[in-house]
Amino acid sequence: MTHLFTMFFNKSVLSLVLIMTISVLAVDARPATFLQDFRITWSDSHIRQLDGGRAVQLILDQNSGCGFASKSQYLFGRVSMKIKLIPGDSAGTVTAFYMNSDTDQVRDELDFEFLGNRSGQPYSVQTNVYAHGKGDREQRVNLWFDPAADYHTYSILWNHHHVVFSVDDVPIRVYKNNEAKGVPFPKFQPMGVYSTLWEADDWATRGGLEKIDWRKAPFYAYYKDFDIEGCPAPGPASCASNPSNWWEGSSYQQLDPVAARRYRWVRMNHMVYDYCTDKSRYPVTPPECLAGI
Protein backbone atom coordinates (compact mmCIF):
# COMPACT_ATOMS: atom_id res chain seq x y z
CA MET A 1 0.00 0.00 0.00
CA THR A 2 2.85 2.41 0.87
CA HIS A 3 4.51 1.65 -2.49
CA LEU A 4 1.29 2.35 -4.41
CA PHE A 5 0.76 5.61 -2.50
CA THR A 6 4.34 6.72 -3.26
CA MET A 7 3.86 5.98 -6.98
CA PHE A 8 0.56 7.87 -7.03
CA PHE A 9 2.06 10.82 -5.12
CA ASN A 10 5.08 11.04 -7.45
CA LYS A 11 2.85 10.94 -10.55
CA SER A 12 0.62 13.62 -9.08
CA VAL A 13 3.59 15.87 -8.35
CA LEU A 14 4.95 15.30 -11.86
CA SER A 15 1.58 16.14 -13.39
CA LEU A 16 1.36 19.30 -11.29
CA VAL A 17 4.87 20.36 -12.35
CA LEU A 18 3.99 19.78 -16.01
CA ILE A 19 0.79 21.81 -15.70
CA MET A 20 2.64 24.66 -13.98
CA THR A 21 5.38 24.59 -16.64
CA ILE A 22 2.86 24.69 -19.47
CA SER A 23 1.07 27.56 -17.74
CA VAL A 24 4.30 29.56 -17.43
CA LEU A 25 5.11 28.94 -21.08
CA ALA A 26 1.65 30.08 -22.07
CA VAL A 27 2.04 33.32 -20.12
CA ASP A 28 5.42 34.05 -21.73
CA ALA A 29 4.41 32.80 -25.16
CA ARG A 30 5.03 34.93 -28.20
CA PRO A 31 3.44 36.51 -30.10
CA ALA A 32 1.70 38.62 -27.47
CA THR A 33 -1.75 40.13 -27.41
CA PHE A 34 -1.95 43.84 -28.13
CA LEU A 35 -2.56 44.99 -24.55
CA GLN A 36 0.24 42.86 -23.12
CA ASP A 37 2.89 45.06 -24.69
CA PHE A 38 1.14 48.13 -26.11
CA ARG A 39 -1.06 51.10 -25.30
CA ILE A 40 -3.03 53.43 -27.55
CA THR A 41 -1.37 56.85 -27.81
CA TRP A 42 -3.56 58.64 -30.32
CA SER A 43 -7.28 58.47 -31.13
CA ASP A 44 -8.49 55.34 -29.37
CA SER A 45 -11.74 55.53 -31.36
CA HIS A 46 -9.69 54.71 -34.49
CA ILE A 47 -8.05 51.52 -33.18
CA ARG A 48 -10.11 48.36 -32.85
CA GLN A 49 -8.96 45.16 -31.21
CA LEU A 50 -9.75 42.00 -33.14
CA ASP A 51 -9.61 38.28 -32.38
CA GLY A 52 -9.51 38.75 -28.61
CA GLY A 53 -6.73 41.31 -28.78
CA ARG A 54 -4.44 39.22 -30.94
CA ALA A 55 -4.84 41.71 -33.80
CA VAL A 56 -5.78 45.35 -34.25
CA GLN A 57 -7.30 47.47 -37.00
CA LEU A 58 -6.00 51.01 -37.50
CA ILE A 59 -8.36 53.52 -39.13
CA LEU A 60 -7.64 56.74 -41.01
CA ASP A 61 -10.45 59.09 -42.03
CA GLN A 62 -10.89 62.84 -42.44
CA ASN A 63 -11.32 63.22 -38.69
CA SER A 64 -8.15 61.51 -37.52
CA GLY A 65 -5.41 58.99 -37.90
CA CYS A 66 -4.22 56.92 -34.92
CA GLY A 67 -1.26 55.38 -33.20
CA PHE A 68 0.00 53.04 -30.49
CA ALA A 69 3.22 52.50 -28.56
CA SER A 70 4.88 49.85 -26.43
CA LYS A 71 4.47 50.13 -22.67
CA SER A 72 8.22 49.68 -22.21
CA GLN A 73 11.39 50.82 -23.92
CA TYR A 74 14.12 48.41 -24.99
CA LEU A 75 17.88 48.56 -25.49
CA PHE A 76 18.86 46.07 -28.22
CA GLY A 77 16.88 43.04 -29.32
CA ARG A 78 14.37 42.33 -32.07
CA VAL A 79 10.85 43.57 -32.71
CA SER A 80 8.50 42.24 -35.34
CA MET A 81 4.88 42.50 -36.39
CA LYS A 82 2.71 41.11 -39.13
CA ILE A 83 1.03 43.93 -41.03
CA LYS A 84 -1.58 44.02 -43.80
CA LEU A 85 -1.51 47.40 -45.48
CA ILE A 86 -4.25 49.59 -46.99
CA PRO A 87 -5.59 48.05 -50.22
CA GLY A 88 -6.46 49.85 -53.43
CA ASP A 89 -5.89 53.59 -53.76
CA SER A 90 -3.87 54.50 -50.68
CA ALA A 91 -2.06 57.53 -52.11
CA GLY A 92 -1.11 60.13 -49.52
CA THR A 93 -1.25 57.72 -46.56
CA VAL A 94 1.65 56.56 -44.42
CA THR A 95 1.58 53.45 -42.24
CA ALA A 96 4.58 53.53 -39.92
CA PHE A 97 6.26 50.95 -37.68
CA TYR A 98 9.33 52.25 -35.87
CA MET A 99 11.47 52.48 -32.77
CA ASN A 100 12.13 55.84 -31.13
CA SER A 101 14.07 57.03 -28.08
CA ASP A 102 11.45 59.73 -27.38
CA THR A 103 14.18 62.30 -26.80
CA ASP A 104 13.93 65.75 -28.37
CA GLN A 105 17.52 66.86 -28.87
CA VAL A 106 19.53 63.68 -29.42
CA ARG A 107 17.05 61.32 -31.00
CA ASP A 108 17.65 57.71 -31.97
CA GLU A 109 15.09 56.19 -34.32
CA LEU A 110 14.71 53.18 -36.63
CA ASP A 111 11.89 53.58 -39.16
CA PHE A 112 9.70 51.52 -41.44
CA GLU A 113 7.34 53.85 -43.35
CA PHE A 114 4.94 52.31 -45.86
CA LEU A 115 4.08 54.90 -48.48
CA GLY A 116 0.62 54.68 -50.04
CA ASN A 117 0.17 54.42 -53.79
CA ARG A 118 -2.31 54.92 -56.57
CA SER A 119 -3.99 51.67 -57.58
CA GLY A 120 -1.76 49.54 -59.76
CA GLN A 121 1.50 51.09 -58.59
CA PRO A 122 3.97 49.22 -56.35
CA TYR A 123 3.94 49.86 -52.62
CA SER A 124 7.15 51.49 -51.40
CA VAL A 125 8.68 51.07 -47.97
CA GLN A 126 11.02 53.78 -46.73
CA THR A 127 13.55 53.07 -43.99
CA ASN A 128 15.49 55.66 -42.05
CA VAL A 129 18.04 55.62 -39.24
CA TYR A 130 18.55 58.38 -36.68
CA ALA A 131 21.60 58.06 -34.45
CA HIS A 132 22.59 60.67 -31.85
CA GLY A 133 20.15 63.12 -33.43
CA LYS A 134 21.39 62.70 -37.01
CA GLY A 135 18.95 61.28 -39.57
CA ASP A 136 18.41 61.95 -43.29
CA ARG A 137 19.44 58.40 -44.18
CA GLU A 138 16.40 57.45 -46.24
CA GLN A 139 16.27 54.40 -48.48
CA ARG A 140 13.22 53.22 -50.44
CA VAL A 141 12.39 49.77 -51.73
CA ASN A 142 9.43 48.76 -53.89
CA LEU A 143 7.93 45.64 -52.33
CA TRP A 144 7.92 42.59 -54.62
CA PHE A 145 4.45 41.45 -53.52
CA ASP A 146 1.08 42.99 -52.72
CA PRO A 147 1.35 43.90 -49.02
CA ALA A 148 -2.39 44.61 -48.84
CA ALA A 149 -3.47 41.13 -49.95
CA ASP A 150 -2.22 39.35 -46.82
CA TYR A 151 -0.13 39.76 -43.70
CA HIS A 152 3.66 39.96 -44.01
CA THR A 153 6.28 40.08 -41.27
CA TYR A 154 8.34 43.23 -40.78
CA SER A 155 11.17 43.14 -38.25
CA ILE A 156 14.03 45.20 -36.84
CA LEU A 157 17.06 43.41 -35.38
CA TRP A 158 19.25 45.72 -33.31
CA ASN A 159 22.48 44.63 -31.65
CA HIS A 160 25.95 46.05 -31.02
CA HIS A 161 27.08 45.15 -34.54
CA HIS A 162 24.32 46.38 -36.84
CA VAL A 163 20.65 47.15 -37.39
CA VAL A 164 18.85 44.90 -39.89
CA PHE A 165 15.45 45.74 -41.38
CA SER A 166 13.75 42.64 -42.79
CA VAL A 167 10.58 41.77 -44.69
CA ASP A 168 9.51 38.13 -44.36
CA ASP A 169 13.07 37.34 -43.18
CA VAL A 170 14.54 38.99 -46.30
CA PRO A 171 16.92 41.78 -45.24
CA ILE A 172 16.21 45.02 -47.09
CA ARG A 173 18.58 47.27 -45.17
CA VAL A 174 21.67 46.90 -43.00
CA TYR A 175 23.09 49.78 -40.96
CA LYS A 176 26.44 48.70 -39.54
CA ASN A 177 28.14 49.94 -36.41
CA ASN A 178 30.84 52.17 -37.92
CA GLU A 179 31.76 54.11 -34.81
CA ALA A 180 35.41 53.41 -35.63
CA LYS A 181 34.90 55.63 -38.70
CA GLY A 182 33.25 58.37 -36.66
CA VAL A 183 29.72 57.39 -37.68
CA PRO A 184 27.20 57.50 -34.82
CA PHE A 185 25.41 54.28 -33.90
CA PRO A 186 22.40 53.97 -31.59
CA LYS A 187 23.57 52.09 -28.52
CA PHE A 188 23.03 54.25 -25.45
CA GLN A 189 19.33 55.15 -25.46
CA PRO A 190 16.51 52.63 -25.07
CA MET A 191 13.73 52.95 -27.61
CA GLY A 192 10.02 52.32 -27.57
CA VAL A 193 8.10 50.57 -30.37
CA TYR A 194 5.53 52.68 -32.18
CA SER A 195 3.05 52.52 -35.01
CA THR A 196 0.91 55.18 -36.65
CA LEU A 197 -1.46 55.56 -39.58
CA TRP A 198 -1.71 59.11 -40.86
CA GLU A 199 -2.20 61.42 -43.84
CA ALA A 200 0.96 62.85 -45.42
CA ASP A 201 -0.03 63.71 -48.96
CA ASP A 202 2.42 66.60 -49.08
CA TRP A 203 5.27 64.08 -49.58
CA ALA A 204 4.26 60.42 -49.26
CA THR A 205 3.31 59.50 -52.84
CA ARG A 206 5.50 60.61 -55.73
CA GLY A 207 6.90 63.43 -53.65
CA GLY A 208 3.47 64.87 -52.92
CA LEU A 209 2.18 64.89 -56.51
CA GLU A 210 -0.48 62.30 -55.71
CA LYS A 211 -2.97 63.54 -53.12
CA ILE A 212 -5.18 61.51 -50.83
CA ASP A 213 -8.65 60.73 -52.18
CA TRP A 214 -10.93 61.07 -49.18
CA ARG A 215 -13.76 59.52 -51.18
CA LYS A 216 -11.93 56.20 -50.61
CA ALA A 217 -11.90 56.69 -46.83
CA PRO A 218 -11.92 55.21 -44.30
CA PHE A 219 -8.55 53.52 -44.82
CA TYR A 220 -7.67 50.39 -42.83
CA ALA A 221 -4.39 48.73 -41.86
CA TYR A 222 -4.16 45.56 -39.78
CA TYR A 223 -1.55 44.31 -37.30
CA LYS A 224 -1.05 41.01 -35.49
CA ASP A 225 1.62 38.69 -34.02
CA PHE A 226 3.28 41.36 -31.88
CA ASP A 227 6.72 40.12 -30.86
CA ILE A 228 9.24 42.08 -28.80
CA GLU A 229 12.38 40.42 -27.46
CA GLY A 230 14.95 42.70 -25.89
CA CYS A 231 16.31 44.31 -22.75
CA PRO A 232 13.52 46.33 -21.13
CA ALA A 233 14.28 49.71 -19.65
CA PRO A 234 14.13 50.32 -16.82
CA GLY A 235 15.55 46.91 -16.09
CA PRO A 236 18.78 45.14 -15.13
CA ALA A 237 21.69 47.33 -16.24
CA SER A 238 23.69 44.26 -17.21
CA CYS A 239 21.14 43.01 -19.75
CA ALA A 240 22.08 45.23 -22.71
CA SER A 241 25.80 44.40 -22.39
CA ASN A 242 25.27 40.66 -21.92
CA PRO A 243 26.96 38.83 -24.84
CA SER A 244 24.84 35.75 -24.20
CA ASN A 245 21.64 37.47 -25.38
CA TRP A 246 20.58 35.50 -28.44
CA TRP A 247 20.48 38.59 -30.67
CA GLU A 248 24.18 39.20 -29.89
CA GLY A 249 25.20 35.68 -30.94
CA SER A 250 27.76 35.08 -33.67
CA SER A 251 25.10 34.13 -36.22
CA TYR A 252 23.44 37.54 -35.76
CA GLN A 253 26.58 39.68 -35.98
CA GLN A 254 26.53 39.67 -39.78
CA LEU A 255 24.32 38.34 -42.54
CA ASP A 256 24.83 34.68 -43.37
CA PRO A 257 25.50 33.80 -47.04
CA VAL A 258 21.82 33.14 -47.85
CA ALA A 259 20.65 36.38 -46.22
CA ALA A 260 23.46 38.32 -47.94
CA ARG A 261 22.39 36.94 -51.32
CA ARG A 262 18.77 37.95 -50.67
CA TYR A 263 19.91 41.38 -49.55
CA ARG A 264 21.85 41.94 -52.77
CA TRP A 265 18.83 40.76 -54.79
CA VAL A 266 16.61 43.36 -53.11
CA ARG A 267 19.16 46.12 -53.63
CA MET A 268 19.69 45.27 -57.29
CA ASN A 269 16.07 44.72 -58.28
CA HIS A 270 13.82 46.70 -55.93
CA MET A 271 15.68 49.69 -54.50
CA VAL A 272 14.32 52.96 -55.92
CA TYR A 273 16.09 55.51 -53.72
CA ASP A 274 19.27 55.50 -51.67
CA TYR A 275 20.63 58.57 -49.90
CA CYS A 276 24.10 57.11 -50.37
CA THR A 277 23.94 57.77 -54.12
CA ASP A 278 22.08 61.09 -54.00
CA LYS A 279 24.84 63.49 -55.02
CA SER A 280 22.51 66.49 -54.84
CA ARG A 281 22.20 65.92 -51.11
CA TYR A 282 25.55 64.32 -50.42
CA PRO A 283 28.27 65.42 -52.90
CA VAL A 284 30.68 63.46 -50.72
CA THR A 285 29.48 59.93 -50.08
CA PRO A 286 28.70 59.42 -46.36
CA PRO A 287 31.32 57.15 -44.76
CA GLU A 288 28.80 54.52 -43.64
CA CYS A 289 27.81 53.99 -47.27
CA LEU A 290 31.27 52.64 -48.09
CA ALA A 291 31.20 49.87 -45.51
CA GLY A 292 29.20 47.23 -47.39
CA ILE A 293 27.40 44.64 -45.29
Residues annotated as catalytic are 109, 113
Alpha helices in the chain (DSSP H): 2-28, 34-37, 257-269
CA distance to 1, 112, 228, 273, per residue, from 194 (Å):
62, 10, 12, 24
Residue 37 near residue 56, CB atoms below 8 Å: no
In whole angstroms, what is the distance from residue 57 CA to residue 132 CA?
33
Residue 132 near residue 106, CB atoms below 8 Å: yes
Instruction: Count Cβ atoms within 10 A of the Cβ of residue 127 and give its class: 0-12 exposed, 13-18 middle, 19 or more buried.
Output: buried
In whole angstroms, what is the distance from residue 174 CA to residue 157 CA?
10
